[in-house]
Amino acid sequence: MNSHVATKRGRHNASLLLCLRRHLLSYVIMRFNDLVTGVSPNDLMTAQPNDQKTRSAELTVSEAEMRRSTKLEVVLFDMDGVIIDSEPLWTEAERQLLARRMLEYSPQLKTAMMGRDAKEAVGLLINHYNLSEGVDEIIAERNQLIAELFKEHLQPVPNVLELLRSVRDSRIKTGLASSSPKQLVELAVNKLGIIGLFDLVLSGDQVARGKPAPDIYLAAAGKLGVGPDNCLVIEDAPLGVAAAKAAGMCCLAISTSANESELTAADRVVRGFGEVDLQLLQDLVQHRTQRSQSTQRNRRPCGWG
């Protein structure tokens, strides 16, 4: 009889010990959740379905960090076709260059050359027309022609300077990242009197590879001390859009030089800067990051976290 009672007591004690262990484990888990998310167990019990604390509690540490880091910190502008209305001037310069050789300008070359650095663009021109001169010689002549046209006819793209000043007034950094040679970039910004509106100016001859390689945009972000996720690029050329996306940056395309159908790789395409304000730029960066977070969550295998 005594042996039977002892056995029952032993089983009862073991059951109590197991129960205590379970309660202790639950408490540790809840406290850990409290430390990670900043939400206490009581908050979770009383929160409504749409309560911000509940939504925060559902985030992992990495997702919360990504959300905090998605602030727009830098807007990077291409120059030709974005800051300055120069594409018709480039066409005229190349028409004059070819006319000197009794050749007719081919509009089909415009899209292929647009957005490339000087050496690549002139290389296409030489190959297409089988010109006898070397790349450097043609570049010098082309630059001389476009410089004269800049001095006489250069104008900003409508409404872009208003956007640029709005970005600056919001203490968001700005950069100019152009495929054009340094001397032409300096000529353009000085003529328009806008050099003071940029924290950084980079030209195509200051990086190893031209667009569509991401070099110029990655270099700009590095010099400004921000990551690609915090940058937004404004482009007008398909190759420029490709460079921005290759750099891992959000991209707004303006169809001043190319058709909208050629710019679909951008996060958003607009017809002009009259459709753009600072809020749109901030929303594009935030929504792009949220889509990225959603994609990462959907790719997690079963049992993650």
Q: What is the pLDDT of residues 188-232, one digit of tens each?
A: 999 999 999 999 999 999 999 999 999 999 999 999 999 999 999
Mean pLDDT for 103-125 is: 88
Query: For residue 70, what pLDDT is reported?
Result: 78
For residues 80 and 161, state if they share a domain.
Answer: yes
Number of domains in the chain: 3
Identify the domain containing residue 232 by its residue range. 74-84+157-297
Which two three-digit tokens encode residue 236? 């007008």
Domain assignment present for residue 14? The answer is yes
Which residues are registered as beta bridge partners of 174? 75
Whether 78 sits among the annotated catalytic residues: the reply is yes
Query: For residue 187, what pLDDT is reported?
Result: 97
Which two three-digit tokens encode residue 272? 């002009």
Q: What does residue 292 show for φ and ψ, rounded to 5 degrees?
A: -65, -40
Q: Is 169 a residue whose pLDDT tops 70?
A: yes
Residues 6+ apart with CB under 8 A from 206: 182, 216, 219
Domain assignment present for residue 168? The answer is yes
Query: For residue 115, what pLDDT is reported?
Result: 83
Domain assignment present for residue 65? The answer is no
For residues 216 and 80, state if they share a domain.
Answer: yes
Query: For residue 24, what pLDDT is reported?
Result: 54
For residues 80 and 217, state if they share a domain.
Answer: yes
Q: Is 168 a residue whose pLDDT tops 70?
A: yes
Coil, strand, or helix at residue 257?
A: coil
Least confident of 30-34, 131-135, 238-242: 30-34
Of residues 76 and 57, more confidence is placed in 76
**Among 43, 78, 117, 283, which one carries the catalytic annotation?**
78
Of residues 15 and 40, more confidence is placed in 15
Tracing tokens 């006319």 back to the chain, one arrives at: 99
Domain assignment present for residue 171? The answer is yes
Domain assignment present for residue 302? The answer is no
Q: Is 43 a residue whose pLDDT tops 60?
A: no
Q: What does residue 14 show for φ and ψ, rounded to 5 degrees?
A: -65, -40
